Chains A and B, each alone.
Chain A
């Protein structure tokens, strides 16, 4: 065969391949079912053509128009959001800067490019619009006056002795509230323009029904008023979004920076870092611990403790816990309370704050029940050591570690993989007892990320899901009936579809259902997906390396931004609330009498 003949044969092969390949590329356009493997769809960058325009994409819209889109840069993240600590420090003054308040421009965020959003094709259903926030826009508040007024509300710091504080709303404050002007009948107005913009997040106000956060804001007002020993307590349940403490850590930092640090709060004594983590505190466990959580179950009784994590020591074991660093030293903790299980054959647990005489607690009982032991350390201790004797199993739900106050504690009860279904693994009475003991002022429930596959949400109207969701929230509230309640939606979740990342369609339904549940339960509501930027936002966060490739989780930096966005909304709502309830800020309750040291259960 001559070289030319060989060459021509090869060219013929190339032509045949090209023809066949092009035919196969066109084939999916003839088969509607094969849409997913069509090489290109309207809405995607026009192949080859878009290259002619550097850094821009040529996109054909559904109506056949070609539009040029600037590609998103990775440098859009403002410097203040690069690091949680830096952001917290830099952002705090903003909340009180009237100029910033008026300069915030949500409209700019609204117009941010939405790369992941695909234009609906004519045959597609238009996306269900996200329900507008229930709260109407409030009239502008005189924030300058508020700014001036707030410091005056703070009395001089009291050098009060350490004292435990119950979470019940102070009668003085309640009385003051009852004399206050009638609460508005409509949902409480929250001014959107008071919220700073933290790209790529979108300022998103809390949706608060009338009086929906009164208990919580009252507790915050008491802390702000430096009421001796008062600690405002929030308990935040959730799934993996909360499990790593990224979001809650930021909210905690923001609130403690303003209202005082109440300490780490409730902590399981031993965790498996795959399912729960709490950066910033030290929790060093040795010995034969077995940790079980509500996601995977496995505990011999349906008792998983307040955090949904229960640790059992089967021999001699130790766990040393301490709070965050304050300069060179550790934070001084003044109140410890062990949540444990009394059980047949139970061994002894030894609780010893550092430099303080410890106490031995037998956990032996004829039948399984919850038990608690509280102790106050007036001089403070940097850490607490929990040791088990080894003569029998010792089951511990966790330990409360608090400062002498006043301040805020934001408990983080996230377990990776958690859902309404797994939350039901908890015994009802047990869960209520645990919450009652902790007595939070605010119950935060942020679930749903692992529930998008539930048939009721995915394909149904969501009624069945709503009922189970409401039942779960109601159970949590049963433990703290006077506490406020805040329901938070899951963050945006994406799914890959060809070259785009789209929001999971079930999220619209989920958010609609959760919002309705919040209204029916009288809980406040916060749309976390809206805070991310609404549908399709996961793609934008991923582009900025603020989300993981699983399109489900945000990175620590991403969670920090969302945490700031929630804190912004919370603080703004509080500032607006306190303007309407000045008596709450002035009414400093007498130190609570609850929380006596000793064993109970």
Chain B
């Protein structure tokens, strides 16, 4: 069930009213059942995989906590995490590893014929819920031994609801134990602006997805990436800018809908984006892009590796390794390995220069010129690296990169509507953040009928101007 559809709107409305309509003790039941139903709507065949991960994380958390005073804590953590990673490894990475193993064997002169995993559909959201589960288990493991107040969630249903809470289930934000479980324990009532702000975020997310991301995907990105050889270098470049915006509006739109939907239950989810393309360093970009994933790898991979306090080159090693893991998290392909490697190198360069100049990431830049060249460099690094993100393999990425060199002084051939969408999309991204906040607060001050009018207006525009297709969110595949 895709978010920007009537299906989801019916589902959300039904669930919200059922949730608030039943007595408080039953609300958790409503949330849990609706979340499982939401996932089953994608493919009921894969539901057991998700429930298996839920079961392992819940039982593993209890086991780790119960045995916390005994030796072998690290081993127990490794066992549970290993079990959690098995489905991800099997369903997402096995084929890729198998192909590479066979290729290596062939080079070595022997024949290796490994079985493959055949999936009718991609296993929606497996990376998200696996990382969610691992974060929970590690958080339980990190509870101080002497702390008897904090602990794992003993109630399986409540834990399952925490893990499968439908707004964040298939594409995040990746939620931590201390961010969502306390809210589920209390099941807060609605606050003053929950409904208004929740609806605003949903409408904003729908608009980003349907009126910007899908339009430029269909009008620019998909045709160019399908056959880059047919397009001139300026057109390929425009397609890269377009894809960069599409990805943000797609994933950012999804996150908006997720955060907004949760607010209608009185639940607050963490933010995932903060105008990422305004970053002036690649390191800064990762503090603004997919924030919950960046925080996850920082807390559960980068810091355990030694973080930035490691001596000398080890900091850079840790950085590059962390970014490669982020890359591979997105998919089983050498493209993502190279993508992560490039970003890792770029972040390491940022870190090296900051150390050398004694400047901290948050320090203000001296003037507009200093901001401009840093921004331009960072933005174009991100844009060019997106080739690896979108192209199916390294060969296609190379072909696309080469086609950029064939400069033709010709205006790119895209329709006026698509051009307008691209320009408006970027303009909105680069407007001051306070404008967006002002607009949001203006919306919340209106009568609910006005909210309805705005929502219906976006829906009507989607039908009139949008692609008319139900294009899946890009990040569902991860």
B-binding residues in A (CB < 8 A): 1, 3-4, 6-7, 9-11, 13-14, 16-21, 23-25, 36-37, 39-40, 47-48, 50-51, 54, 244, 272-274, 277, 279, 496-501, 545, 548-550, 553, 555-556
Contact = CB atoms under 8 A, between A and B. Distances in A.
Contact of B6 (A16, A48, A277): A48
Interface stretch (B51-59, B173-181, B214-222, B307-315): B214-222
17 contacts: A1-B192, A6-B189, A6-B192, A10-B192, A14-B16, A14-B190, A16-B449, A23-B452, A24-B456, A47-B6, A273-B232, A274-B232, A274-B235, A496-B467, A499-B468, A549-B217, A550-B219
Interface string B432-450: 0000000000000001110
A39 B459 contact: yes
Given A13-B448, A17-B452, A548-B223, A40 B6 contact: yes
A48 B7 contact: yes
A499 B470 contact: yes
A47 B230 contact: no
A283 to B, nearest CB: 13
Given A40-B6, A51-B41, A10 B195 contact: yes
Contact of B452 (A20, A40, A50, A556): A20
B191 interface: yes
Nearest to A4: B189
Of all A-B residue pairs in the complex, the 3 with the closest CB atoms, nearest first, are A20-B452, A549-B218, A10-B190
B11 A549 contact: no
A438 to B, nearest CB: 27
B455 interface: yes
A20 B448 contact: yes
A9 B194 CA distance: 11
A51 B7 contact: yes
A497 B451 CA distance: 26
Nearest to A277: B230
Dominant SS among interface residues on chain B: helix
Contact of A3 (B189, B264, B463): B189
Contacts of A9: 192
A434 to B, nearest CB: 26
A18 B307 CA distance: 49
Nearest to B219: A549
A496 B214 CA distance: 13
A499 B449 contact: no
Contacts of A16: 447-449, 452
Contact of A500 (B10, B410, B468): B468
B326 interface: no
A4 B190 CA distance: 8
A272 B410 contact: yes
B226 interface: yes
A1 B470 CA distance: 43
Given A11-B20, A18-B13, A549 B467 contact: yes
Interface of B: 1, 5-7, 10-11, 13, 16-17, 20, 41, 43-45, 189-192, 194-196, 199, 217-219, 222-223, 226-227, 229-232, 235, 264, 408, 410, 413, 415, 447-449, 451-453, 455-456, 459-460, 463-464, 467-470
A9 B460 CA distance: 29
Contact of B222 (A3, A274, A498, A549): A549
Contact of B10 (A1, A48, A273, A501): A48
Contacts of A496: 467-469
B196 A13 contact: yes
A264 B415 CA distance: 33
A497 B448 contact: no
A11 B190 contact: yes
Nearest to A16: B448
Contact of A274 (B223, B408, B459, B470): B408
Contact of A37 (B5, B227, B453, B463): B463
B232 A548 contact: no
A13 B195 contact: yes
Contact of A14 (B227, B230, B264): B264
Nearest to B20: A11
A588 to B, nearest CB: 42
Nearest to B467: A496
B222 A21 contact: no
A274 B470 CA distance: 30
A548 B226 contact: yes
Contacts of A550: 218-219, 223, 415
A24 B457 CA distance: 9
B195 A25 contact: no
A532 B447 CA distance: 51
Nearest to B411: A274
Given A3-B191, A16-B452, 9 more contacts: A7-B191, A14-B20, A18-B13, A48-B10, A244-B230, A496-B467, A549-B223, A550-B219, A556-B230
Given A11-B190, A14-B195, A548-B222, A39 B6 contact: yes
A287 to B, nearest CB: 15
A500 B45 CA distance: 28
Q: Which of B1, B232, B469 has the most CB of A within 10 A?
A: B469
Contacts of B195: 10-11, 13-14, 17
A560 to B, nearest CB: 12
Q: Which of A37, A48, A500, A549 has the most CB of B within 10 A?
A: A549
A36 B223 contact: no
Nearest to A17: B448
Contact of B464 (A10, A36, A274, A549): A36
A25 B6 CA distance: 11
Contacts of B235: 274
Contacts of A500: 468
Contacts of A14: 16, 20, 190, 195, 264, 448
A42 to B, nearest CB: 14
Contacts of A501: 468-469
A19 B453 CA distance: 11
Contact of A555 (B7, B226, B467): B226
Nearest to A545: B226
Contacts of A11: 20, 190, 195
A25 B229 CA distance: 44
Contacts of A549: 217-219, 222-223, 467
Given A13-B195, A20-B448, A274-B232, A7 B189 contact: yes
Most buried by A among B190, B232, B408: B190
Nearest to A501: B468
B470 to A, nearest CB: 7
Nearest to B456: A24
B5 to A, nearest CB: 8
A499 B17 CA distance: 28
A7 B44 CA distance: 35
Interface centre among B1, B17, B43, B189 (most CB of A within 10 A): B189
